[in-house]
Amino acid sequence: MKDILLVDGYNVIGDWPELKPLRAGHLEEARDRLIDAMAEYQAYKGWRVIVVFDAHMVPGIGKNYQLKRVEVVYTKEHETADERIEKLVGELKNVETRVHVATSDYAEQSMTFGSGALRKSARELRHETKLVEKGIEEQLANQKKAIHKTTLPITEEMAEIFDKWRKRDL
């Protein structure tokens, strides 16, 4: 089964403690940080991720693009992120696809849940992104260990001798 995550961008920015202070004067930075977090989430989980931003914060844009394998959607003027997310749920939800909607907007959660999507609060999404970060760190640490391990069954003393030979210290 394929999973798709729809993220109500400004709703999540307004909820996450590390992004909320950026809303007032550094909204673009808050959007970039959210997209970065969703790119890691997408890469780790393998889900399709779509972040939807309201047009009222960026008037007249109404465009879609892909950034770091995350689909970013700016709604058209007079269209809310909630309306676009509801429309996307209707288009994407089928027998082979699970659609998850990340928002803390209760009305939006109820509407999308009624349409067959799974709901996820902004806080739950933040918690999951923190788990993804830990998972990535563990994978990197394991890869580093695997690189330094030898596949030959030798003693530590022999490994030191070989290491000195390699460094030409012997």
33-48, pLDDT tens digit by residue?
A: 999 999 999 999 999 9
Judge contact between 58 and 52, C-beta under 8 A: no
Query: Does the structure show a pLDDT above 60 at 57?
Result: no
126-143, pLDDT tens digit by residue?
A: 999 999 999 988 888 887
In the chain, the domains with their CATH numbers are 2-167 (3.40.50)
Residue 98 CB-density burial (10 A; 0-12 exposed, 13-18 middle, 19+ buried): middle
